[in-house]
Copies of this chain bind each other. A is one copy, B any other.
């Protein structure tokens, strides 16, 4: 038995002999294994050796140990040292004292169990996949999360280096100086009320969302919002329409909840609603109406109305993910779907990951009035909400006007980066490559010519240090997927955009040539 990962080396304590020890040999056994030159106290060493010998059954159950005085004499050390070791072993239940008769190795496992254990094959570590459950293995196999989270052209990541750290640190200090108990303990449902109020106010004004503060739930982001919705409104085995292509996270969280994502094709007006699908109403409809992820299409009004009517008629829940709506470069932002809903069928999700910084881990979910109480309870019950102090800092950041001015500032930054990337694309390909979704957000999508395989380009790009996520990975069915590349420009400094794209363009061109 090797004692792995102990803070000091125990390799010379290895117990290879599995035959049981007799009482008389215990002192020798210990002397062979104790090293007085180690920095570890001798009593600790005795404790460790005896413990391991009990666990490996080298010291048999029920065996009487020498008294601490006798053992100390045999080992030629102070009685206190041995007593300390014995006490610890007694406290941990390895040894037991029987009054008047001495110290014994404590009783062991009942025969039935020990035998069962011996006859059964013990699963060895390392075979990671067979250790995971089927749903776990599926999740890991299809994991969409990228190993790198920063650099050209990581989509969905804002430029956190421009975040006003000093202002944040100052507001943080202010909150910590206030230091009241409720800022540091558990939340009792829904989140920090002043933040919920500030978000409600912002959403009403900026996104025409119909809501009161009570309807706003503070979550740790889109993933938790989806998880909560799936748990409170969904049943195992329910179906959810998801846009095809869509954000990988939505799919993964739903599947992990036993909810089956049904891919619905996206066209120029957003999610297509065709008769065969409409005949099988789902429990959930997940949409990104203001800027389809990842293609960037805006859902048309008629499609919006159709969706709302359909959801109301069929008791389906629409989950509107209104990500990126703050960064819009041309037309004015569209009002939310939630604001058009008169049947309380829409749940509206947003996050501060893009407008502030991802590590903040604060998002929100607006639920219909009738669900506010249940969702607030569910949030505490399932996730034991908290981080009220961070929520308080964010509240001040919003209330003192820093939030809107930071968005305004970053909109200009991102617009310029979009311009530089578009210029680089046009410079390399003219109009031969179609760009979509460039009117908003932090990324655009390039559609590749027929025959180009996006994941191959993506792999080569990664070797050259460039992240270019393959569009086909965002589709549920790879055979019918459009091949393209998602290029995020949010976290790429201006001067790196052109050179990075030129590198990528070479890889794309090589792929195009191979297909001619």
Give the B-binding residues of A (Cβ under 8 A).
Answer: 1, 4-7, 55, 87-88, 91-94, 106-110, 112-114, 116-117, 119-120, 122-128, 131-136, 139-140, 143-150, 157, 160-161, 163, 165-166, 168-169, 172-173, 176-177, 179, 181-189, 201, 204-205, 210-212, 220-224, 227, 231-236, 238, 248-249, 252-253, 256-258, 273, 275, 278, 283, 298, 300-302, 304-306, 309-310, 312-315, 331-332, 334-335, 340, 342-344, 353, 357-361, 368-371, 373-374, 377-378, 380-384, 386-390, 491
Contacts and interface: CB of A to CB of B under 8 A. Distances in A.
A139 B133 CA distance: 24
Given A232-B136, A386-B358, A145 B301 contact: no
Given A253-B382, A343-B122, A377 B143 contact: yes
A-B CB proximity, top 10 nearest = A93-B301, A136-B232, A125-B370, A160-B184, A117-B313, A117-B309, A184-B357, A359-B386, A120-B313, A125-B344
Nearest to A314: B120
A173 B177 CA distance: 13
Contacts of A181: 150, 160-161, 491
Contacts of A109: 302, 305-306, 309
Contacts of A374: 128, 131-132, 136, 140
24 contacts: A91-B332, A92-B335, A93-B334, A117-B310, A126-B369, A128-B374, A131-B370, A133-B234, A133-B235, A133-B283, A140-B232, A143-B381, A169-B173, A169-B176, A172-B172, A172-B173, A183-B359, A222-B384, A223-B383, A236-B258, A249-B381, A252-B382, A256-B382, A258-B258
A327 to B, nearest CB: 16
Given A122-B312, A173-B173, A249-B384, 12 more contacts: A55-B340, A92-B334, A112-B278, A133-B283, A135-B236, A140-B381, A161-B181, A169-B176, A183-B359, A184-B360, A256-B382, A360-B387
A5 B315 contact: no
A148 B106 CA distance: 44
Given A305-B108, A312-B117, A384 B140 contact: no
Contacts of A332: 87-88, 91
A305 B310 CA distance: 58
A129 B136 CA distance: 31
A123 B315 contact: yes
Q: What is the total number of copies of this protein in its complex?
A: 2
Most B C-beta atoms less than 10 A away, residue of A238, A331, A370, A491: A370
B186 A359 contact: yes
A462 B370 CA distance: 27
Given A183-B359, A313-B117, A370 B126 contact: yes
A4 B128 contact: no
A121 to B, nearest CB: 9
Contacts of A312: 117, 120, 122-123
Contacts of A249: 381, 384
A123 B315 CA distance: 7
Contact of A145 (B161, B205, B344, B381): B381
Contact of A165 (B143, B176, B188, B235): B176
Nearest to A142: B381
B91 A331 contact: yes
Nearest to A392: B359
A135 B231 contact: yes
A158 to B, nearest CB: 8
A116 B5 contact: no
Contact of A182 (B131, B150, B169, B283): B150
A211 B168 CA distance: 36
Contacts of A235: 133-135
B370 A387 contact: no
B136 A160 contact: no
A109 B359 CA distance: 41
A160 B182 CA distance: 9
A5 B310 contact: no
Contacts of A306: 109-110, 113
Nearest to A161: B181
Contacts of A310: 113, 116-117
